[in-house]
């Protein structure tokens, strides 16, 4: 195999930015098929993005011989089933976050990927961008001393209660859709798995968490706090703060730096305001790494055990908040 030919499951709003655009840039990949529940919607998506094949059958798409990988852009409640179906059909899988609706589902997905010898990657696109790499480098280098405290937040005023993120049966919830990012960021910076000390949610009548705040403790002695909100009453905010024994770091918009970001840190040597060179979006960097994983066997940081561990932390947050599991 000299290139990766993608099929898209779900003509979702995010698919053009997350997959179609990036796949048109690297020389070793392309998008050749799309499936949506509605045949007309699939055909319109295919026409708009110059995709050769469209179908209203997810099962048909994952079995197509002309594709090598599947992008799963469906509601979270469908991630595990269709990722597993694609893996069993011999396809590599790039699965949107949140990876699954429970750690148990994540474990099954990863087990099938290992059994079939295929790449399975959770689409935490931010983690592949040079800005995220630079933040990890500063924190791991000792430049701000030993880590003591992490605080991460992702607030986005969705508000529309008809949105799938407000539907429990589809794996909705602020922690699933938004909180998964700050949880992943803190786990990555701490390089350890947390214990959830406490969690408090603002819950909709449907059982979906609209706002969540959780306190974490890491075995390294680092403490952490995650906050996420999709309430229409809140504003938009994405930030990560890291306190060390010799200094501190603050970064805004780590998730979508292409829209503008701020990276500031300080220690005894001074204060630093950095800009990181980048020649593409977070999705571009993710696509290049995924293709390298599929074609060259390169290890990816957001697959396998990492995806399982992030779902374990999400599950623990819900348990601590007294909310039911997200599994449909």
- Catalogue the active-site residues: 97
Residues 86 and 73 sit within 8 Å (Cβ to Cβ):
no
DSSP 148-210: EEEEEEEE-----TTSGGG-GGGT--HIIIIIHHHHHHHHHHHTSPPEEEEEEEEE-TTS-EE
Task: Give CA–CA dist 139/242, Å, rounded.
Answer: 8
156: left (phi over 0), alpha (psi -120 to 50) or beta: beta
> If we measure between CA atoms, which residue out of 70, 164, 159, 158 comes closest to residue 116?
70
Angle between helices 305-321 and 103-116 (to 10 degrees): 170
Backbone angles phi, psi at 225, to 5 degrees: -140, 130
Q: Please, which residues have CB within 8 angstroms of residue 174's CB and are 6 or more apart in sequence? A: 165, 208, 209, 210, 211, 212, 228, 229, 230
Cα-trace Rg, the chain: 19
| Count of residues in the chain | 328
Residues 35 and 58 sit within 8 Å (Cβ to Cβ):
yes
Classify 264 as helix, strand or coil: strand
């Amino acid at each position: 195999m000299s290139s990766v030919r993608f099929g898209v499951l779900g003509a979702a709003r995010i698919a053009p930015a997350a997959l179609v655009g990036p796949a048109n840039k690297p020389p070793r990949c392309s998008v050749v098929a799309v499936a949506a529940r509605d045949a007309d919607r699939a055909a319109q998506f295919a026409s708009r993005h110059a995709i050769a094949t469209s179908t209203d059958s997810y099962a048909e798409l994952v079995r197509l011989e002309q594709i090598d990988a599947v992008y799963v852009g469906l509601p979270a409640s469908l991630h595990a089933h269709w990722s597993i179906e694609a893996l069993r059909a011999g396809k590599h899988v790039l699965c949107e976050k949140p990876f699954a609706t429970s750690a148990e589902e994540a474990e099954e997905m990863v087990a099938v990927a290992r059994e079939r010898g295929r790449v399975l990657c959770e689409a935490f696109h931010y983690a592949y961008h040079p800005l995220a790499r630079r933040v990890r480098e500063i924190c791991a280098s000792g430049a701000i001393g030993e880590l003591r405290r992490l605080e991460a937040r992702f607030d986005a005023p969705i508000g529309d209660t008809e949105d799938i993120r407000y539907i429990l049966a589809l794996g909705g919830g602020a922690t699933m859709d938004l909180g998964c990012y700050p949880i992943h960021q803190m786990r990555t910076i701490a390089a350890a798995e947390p214990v959830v000390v406490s969690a408090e949610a603002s819950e909709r009548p449907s059982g979906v968490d609209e706002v969540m705040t959780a306190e974490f403790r890491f075995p390294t002695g680092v403490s952490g706090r995650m906050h996420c909100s999709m309430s229409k009453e809140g504003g938009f905010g994405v930030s990560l703060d890291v306190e060390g024994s010799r200094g501190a770091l603050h970064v805004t918009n780590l998730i979508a730096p292409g829209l503008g970001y701020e990276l500031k840190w300080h220690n005894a040597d001074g204060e630093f305001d950095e800009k990181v060179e980048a020649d593409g979006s977070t999705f571009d960097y993710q696509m290049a790494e995924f293709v390298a994983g599929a074609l060259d066997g390169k290890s990816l940081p957001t697959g396998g055990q990492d995806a399982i561990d992030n779902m374990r932390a999400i599950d623990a947050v819900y348990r601590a908040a007294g909310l039911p599991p997200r599994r449909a």
